[in-house]
Amino acid sequence: MDSPTVEAGMNLEFLRPLVKRAETRIVLLVVDGLGGLPEAEGGPTELERARTPNLDDLARRGICGLHEPVGAGITPGSGPSHLALFGYDPIRYQLGRGVLEALGIDFDLGPDDVAARGNFCTVDASGKITDRRAGRIGTDKNRDLCGLLRKVAVPGVQVFVEPVKEHRFVLVLRGRGLSGDISDTDPQSVGKTPLDPVAHTREAEPTAKMVAEFVSRARDILAGHHPANMIVLRGFSKRPAWPTFGDIFGLKAAAIAAYPMYRGLAKLLGMKTLATGEEIADEFATLERHWDEYDFFYVHVKKSDSAGEDGDFERKVRVIEEVDAQIPRLMRLRPDVIVVTGDHSTPAALKMHSWNPVPVLLWSRYCRPDSVERFSERDCLAGGLGPRFPATDIMPLALANALRLEKFGA
Amino acid sequence: MDSPTVEAGMNLEFLRPLVKRAETRIVLLVVDGLGGLPEAEGGPTELERARTPNLDDLARRGICGLHEPVGAGITPGSGPSHLALFGYDPIRYQLGRGVLEALGIDFDLGPDDVAARGNFCTVDASGKITDRRAGRIGTDKNRDLCGLLRKVAVPGVQVFVEPVKEHRFVLVLRGRGLSGDISDTDPQSVGKTPLDPVAHTREAEPTAKMVAEFVSRARDILAGHHPANMIVLRGFSKRPAWPTFGDIFGLKAAAIAAYPMYRGLAKLLGMKTLATGEEIADEFATLERHWDEYDFFYVHVKKSDSAGEDGDFERKVRVIEEVDAQIPRLMRLRPDVIVVTGDHSTPAALKMHSWNPVPVLLWSRYCRPDSVERFSERDCLAGGLGPRFPATDIMPLALANALRLEKFGA
């Protein structure tokens, strides 16, 4: 599927002409999976349990609330939830599966590349799939097989085959006039043979032929590599031609993220990604180092989400406390606007992303503080931003507080 | 008018692919007209006056708020307000007047039936209407006259004439190729003659002729039955071809409602309606009896609304207390998600439906409790669901809490 050819969303179309330049700096600190749930009935959430004197101080001086990334009851993936934080309506702006997978390894997708998510799989003598994940082969084996597949020459295009984890890889075709409007070869069930890639439009026919050629060659190469003796592909898509974050908001934006997925996403929107280390403190050191070069910083902390996904309540508490300890460094930089939030909730009690609204704290000289005294889910309910506001409100609020929006109308 | 040929709304189109199956059960308890107003300035509302220890306990352990069925300031009828609770945008999904009237007597409308609301009326010697309600004849008289009209044979269709209350009845034509795209015969004022039914489209012409034939025969039959010596018809409409509740939400749904209107509405959306008694306790007994057979139960309590409409504050308080007393029976069934709310407010002070937001309480293991300690209008204002959220949020929230929605995007 081609990524939907979306115009700038209603919000963005409205906002863009109001944007003005200013000498102010905004920091959007995303603590991934920040929102939580009580471990036991009546108990505190992860954030409520954490000792966060610095965030509490910001909450006291700022304005708080809870956002919903996509809508009531909707549990978002990291792609849609980040798009929403960045001001892009996540229902209007949807990324294809192949593009998301390429972002996940921070692959530098060109505007004409077509990406697909690939699985190594097992087929029997008749060609029918017996295991859609090839027994979850190890990542090392995956890397070797990708090395073999990379040697496939398809006339007219350059072929990239990049390992992800276990049985997963990314296929990228680079060439002219390619289209992502091609059906999956993955039948999504065992007992069936992989499907032929079918072009949904006339324009996609040459690309479908190239994919078929690649798959046919891959079959030959993998024949002796049971259980990974075949591949299936899905989510053919191109990098969308969306307006960039910088163009819309008039910001020189940089992303500081230890994890490739988030760098990939930021890059897709035209942000500059800054090299950083694995630790939270490394990310704040990167922020300090580049402070004078940008006027918008997206700082992403991954470990809170990982702890939530692992169901590790206490570890998530500690990650939040680790973030809190970095806040004084941030304050010393004298930013004009700080937003601290998560992209979604990842309660340890659920061991997964959830639909529960996400605490938000916005601080600026002009934010009009509310009565919230602590940064927590329960306290933010009484905040001035409201208990369930759309995440896409965050960017206009940040810009306004940075005195970067003109008056609307006379 | 034919019911608008509406596609599945944006919300529903978005939600449907996210729905997954689970072994969880949801109960939506609708206390009709639940929201109220103080009887005297500074006093409590009906719900605030009521002693509701069980609902308060659920509110303490759950998440609360107030919904708006249609929008700010809009007082809804029971049709739109229930559609909103069931997740159907009530502005997008509108029922014709004839269909609503047929639902009101739980008439089993077929997909090709055309229904209209009828009034017996009084005409003078020149045929001009002198009373649009025929002096509000008694329901017994109405029943006799419907018996006479039922004998009218119109070639090509089966004719149903069903009494409602006083001067009101339902006309249903059953046949092939019928259309509801016909103008009212009711001029909506006295001093005018009833209008001819006019087809708005070519397809509706045969139906318009049949209606004209029926009206002409009715005039002859009723000639000697002054004051009910004529009829007027309005709101010609067909049962809409909407996606069913079960299809959209992946739920096996049952309705428990003592009043025909609510059974009719539930049936229209494809819910199974369960036989039950007149009393609130009967409805909970029905719930217990069928607990294992369904995964969604809509339980409707009518008496709170009737008390409000009668302006009887104390009676409405007692109905709410009667509902509260049944909550322990509900809890013993161990539902996964409970939603308690009203379809709209019916303050005794107004003696009618009103626009005031309606208290909502949602309880589940994963709802993230707020600080609300009592189930009341004032307490719900501080709840985690917000003080004025769209009623159409309730179904996605209930599904999410029942772990019945997939993640959106990767």
Summarised one tens digit per residue, pLDDT across range A209-255 is 999 999 999 999 999 999 999 999 999 999 998 999 999 999 999 99
> How far apart are the two ends of chain B, measured CA to CA in Å?
44
Contact in structure between A149 and A216 (CB atoms under 8 Å):
no
Question: Is residue A6 scored above 70 in pLDDT?
Answer: no
Cβ of A278: how many Cβ atoms within 10 Å?
A: 11
Residues B316, B350: Cα–Cα separation, whole Å: 13
Structure tokens at B85: 């609770």
Q: Tens of pLDDT along B98-124?
A: 999 998 898 999 999 999 999 999 999
Cis amide leading into B240 (omega within 30): no
Which residue is it, tokens 């019916």? B346
CB contact under 8 A, A79 and B409: yes
**With the C-alpha atoms ordered B84, B90, B92, B95, is the resulting torsion angle positive or negative?**
positive
Contact in structure between A79 and A353 (CB atoms under 8 Å):
no
Contact in structure between B261 and B106 (CB atoms under 8 Å):
yes
Residue B57 has phi, psi (to 5 degrees) of -65, -40
Structure tokens at A303: 């470990």
Cβ-in-10-Å burial (0-12, 13-18, 19+) of A156 comes to middle
CB contact under 8 A, A100 and B410: yes
Counting as low any pLDDT under 70, the low residues of chain B are 1-10
CB contact under 8 A, B384 and A97: no
- A48, A381, A385, A393: best to mutate for the B interface, most B CBs within 10 A: A381
Q: Tens of pLDDT along A91-143?
A: 999 999 899 899 889 899 999 999 999 999 999 999 999 999 999 999 999 99
CB contact under 8 A, A72 and B386: no
Contacts of B405 in chain A (CB under 8 A): 73-75, 355
Residues B260-264: contacts with CB within 8 Å, 24+ apart? B260/B103, B260/B104, B260/B105, B260/B106, B261/B78, B261/B103, B261/B104, B261/B106, B262/B78, B262/B82, B262/B300, B262/B302, B263/B106, B264/B102, B264/B103, B264/B104, B264/B105, B264/B106, B264/B107
Contacts of B400 in chain A (CB under 8 A): 72-75, 354-355
Q: DSSP string spanning A240-271?
A: --PPPHHHHHT--EEEEESSHHHHHHHHHTTP
Nearest CB to B393: which of A72, A75, A353?
A72
CB contact under 8 A, B397 and A38: no
Crossing angle of helices B53-61 and B313-332, in 10° steps, is 60
Strand partners, B115: B172, B237
Distance from CA of A313 to the nearest CA of B (A): 15
Question: Is residue A33 scored above 50 in pLDDT?
Answer: yes
Average pLDDT, integer, range A20-37: 97
Nearest CB to A72: which of B61, B383, B396?
B396
- What's the pLDDT score for residue B1? 38
Maximum alpha-carbon separation in chain B = 74
pTM for this entry: 0.91
If interface means Cβ-Cβ distance under 8 Å, which residues of chain B face chain A? 14, 18, 61, 65, 366, 368-371, 382-386, 389, 393, 395-401, 405-410
Contact in structure between A380 and A66 (CB atoms under 8 Å):
yes
Structure tokens at B191: 């001093």
Residues A249, A62: Cα–Cα separation, whole Å: 22
Distance from CA of A316 to the nearest CA of B (A): 17
- B18, B367, B368: best to mutate for the A interface, most A CBs within 10 A: B368
Nearest chain B residue to A380, by CA = B384
CB contact under 8 A, A354 and B371: no
- Cα–Cα distances (Å) from B37 to A284, A378, B45, B56, B339, in that order, read 53, 28, 5, 19, 22
Residues A280, A286: Cα–Cα separation, whole Å: 10
- What's the pLDDT score for residue A10? 53
- A64, A66, A75: best to mutate for the B interface, most B CBs within 10 A: A75
Which residue is it, tokens 């069913």? B244
CB contact under 8 A, A352 and B407: yes
- What's the pLDDT score for residue B10? 53
- A34, A74, A268: best to mutate for the B interface, most B CBs within 10 A: A74
Which residue is it, tokens 């549990």? A75
Residues B187, B195: Cα–Cα separation, whole Å: 6
Q: Number of A:B CB contacts under 8 A?
A: 92
- What's the pLDDT score for residue A36? 98
Nearest CB to A74: which of B370, B371, B405?
B405
Contact in structure between B384 and B366 (CB atoms under 8 Å):
no
Contacts of B382 in chain A (CB under 8 A): 381-382
- What's the pLDDT score for residue A79? 93
> Which DSSP helix (H) or strand (E) runs through B235?
strand B230-238
Distance from CA of B344 to the nearest CA of A (A): 20
- Cα–Cα distances (Å) from A353 to A39, A96, A268, B282, B362, in that order, read 15, 20, 23, 40, 20
Distance from CA of A276 to the nearest CA of B (A): 24
Residues B283, B319: Cα–Cα separation, whole Å: 14
Q: Which positions ≥6 away from A332 have C-beta within 8 Å? A: none
Q: What rounded mean pLDDT belongs to chain A?
A: 95
Count how many residues are written for chain A.
410
Structure tokens at B194: 């009833």
Q: Which positions ≥6 away from A289 have C-beta within 8 Å? A: none
> Which DSSP helix (H) or strand (E) runs through A141?
helix A139-149
- Collapse the DSSP code of A299 into the 3-class scheme (helix H, G, I; strand E, B; otherwise coil) and give the result: strand
Cβ of B343: how many Cβ atoms within 10 Å?
A: 30
- Collapse the DSSP code of A161 into the 3-class scheme (helix H, G, I; strand E, B; otherwise coil) and give the result: strand
Contacts of A100 in chain B (CB under 8 A): 409-410
Given its phi and psi angles, is residue A300 left (phi above 0), alpha (psi -120 to 50 degrees) or beta?
A: beta
CB contact under 8 A, A94 and B409: yes
Nearest CB to A75: which of B65, B369, B405?
B405
Cβ of A276: how many Cβ atoms within 10 Å?
A: 21
- Collapse the DSSP code of B160 into the 3-class scheme (helix H, G, I; strand E, B; otherwise coil) and give the result: strand
Distance from CA of A367 to the nearest CA of B (A): 21
